[in-house]
Structures are given as C-alpha cells and as structure tokens.
Structure 1
Amino acid sequence: MTMDNNTRYNAGASVMEELFSEEVRTGMQEIKHISPDLWDMIVSFGFGDLYARKTLSLSQREIITLTSLITQGAFDQLRVHLQAALNVGLSKEEIIELIIHCTGYVGFPKAVQAMGIAGEIFKEN
C-alpha cells in the first residue's frame, strides 16, 4: 500500500522528531532552503518510507544506519545518527561494540575515526 506524499511527509517528520533534537532538525532544514525538492525526498522517502516502516525498531534501523555511514565514511551524518541512536535507546557500550565490529569490514582508519566521533558525542551527553 502506498501513501500519498502528505502522509509520507508527515510520517517522516514524526520519525525525525523521535530521532533528532529540535536543534539538529533545525540544522538539517538548511537543505530545505537550498533545495526544497531534496528536503521533501529526505523527509518523505528517507524517513517516511524507510524509517516509519513497522518491522524493525528505530534502534535496529539506527544500527543499520550507523554501520552504513561508517562503511561509506560519511562522518558528518554519522555524528547526527550517533545522537539519534542514543535517543532511541542504544547504549554507549552497544555503539562501541558496533564500531569495533565494523573494523573487520571497513578497516582501522574508518573505525578509528568513527570511534573518535562517538567519543565526542558521548562527552556531549
């Protein structure tokens, strides 16, 4: 069953409220000023179509997201999703273990950088 775009957008916005602080959401909306179309895709598809699905929990989805971002070396987005992972119940220990596990697949440089970023996020919390 497909949702109309307003429903998708609203579902995505709701998930984003659960994942991200108001400060982070405001920062993310800078994209909206540059490209309203990309912003709509991020909210409607990224969070409405993907994150709002029911089979996996938000914490399970964040495990997948963190792993994917580390693999890509997408460290700016990793910072935001580390905070989201904590917001939806992942523990510091689980995140550390996830990063250690990624070392075997992504190599030490990406894992070490991810761990450094995680350490910064942990200090802020």
Structure 2
Amino acid sequence: MESNRYDKGIDVLQRMVSEETLNATVKKMEKFSPDMAKLIVEFPYGSLYSRPGLDLKQRSLLTIGAMIASGAAAQLDFHIQGALNAGLTPNEIVEAVMHCVSYAGFPKTLDAMFVVMKVFDERGITYEEA
C-alpha cells in the first residue's frame, strides 16, 4: 500500500508543480532524509490530495488558507506554484490570501501576499485587481 500511496503522491505532484520544483523539494529531501521525502509525498499527496470529493483547485485554496493561518510562509511559494498549475487564477489566489486577513491577522497575511508577489514576478504574471 505504501508504494501505491507514493506513486499516487508523485502523480499528483507532477500535475501541480514543475519537474524543477519537484526536484528542488522532494529530490533534495531524499538526499538528506529519504524517510522524510517519502512522508511528504505519501501523506499529503498520496493520501489526501488524491482523495475524491474535492478537486486540486479546492484543495489548493484550503492549503493556502491553512498555511497562512499557521504562519508557514516558508512553504507557501511551493503551494502557490501548485495552485496556479492546478488552475487557480491569479485573482483567485490574491482573493484567497486577502480573505485570510480577518482570520489569520495582518502580519501572516502580508507575509503570504509578499510570497504571492514573488511567485507572480518569477512567473511573469501581471496581477490587476478586478
């Protein structure tokens, strides 16, 4: 079963992030801690993201909100990349981040918005408020 969860997780990740991003996270972690690399693929992506009931866009929105609320801005760029690749629009991402300000507070939300700005800049995405 574990191998199946790992394969499912890799499949989900390959749909959400570039090969370069995948290598910069999973492959890099494999060199340091193969067990941790296996966990970060199997659990969130092989067990949760691959479940029926929500699509990758919905799961990406939930992940962004949870990461902002928990103050996990260091991992947010990976998930913003994945959200864009899952089909979320730049406006949807910005709105999701803005929505968190009432629940997570200004400091965490501003940190997140700066991550969004960085990812958009790296990808050449021009954001214009609707």
- Residues in 1 aligned to 2:105 and 2:111: alpha-carbon distance in whole angstroms: 11
CA drift at 1:40: 1.1
CA drift at 1:87: 0.5
Which of 2, 18, 21 does residue 21 from structure 1 map onto?
Answer: 18
Q: Which residue of 2 aligns with 1:74?
A: 72
Q: Which residue of 2 aligns with 1:119?
A: 117
CA drift at 1:52: 0.7
Which of 56, 59, 80 does residue 61 from structure 1 map onto?
Answer: 59
Matched, 1:94 2:108: no
Residue 106 of structure 1 aligns to which amino acid in structure 2? A
User: Which stretch of structure 1 is more off in the superposition, 68-77 or 10-19?
Assistant: 68-77
CA drift at 1:98: 0.7
Matched, 1:37 2:35: yes
Percent of aligned pairs with the same amino acid: 39
Q: Which residue of 2 aligns with 1:84?
A: 82
Task: Number of aligned residue pairs: give it.
Answer: 122
- Residues in 2 aligned to 1:113 and 1:45: alpha-carbon distance in whole angstroms: 26
- Residues in 2 aligned to 1:44 and 1:110: alpha-carbon distance in whole angstroms: 28
- RMSD over aligned Cα atoms: 0.9
Residue 12 of structure 1 aligns to which amino acid in structure 2? G
Q: Which residue of 2 aligns with 1:46?
A: 44
The 4+ residue runs of structure 1 with deviation greater than 2 A are none
TM-score (norm 1): 0.93
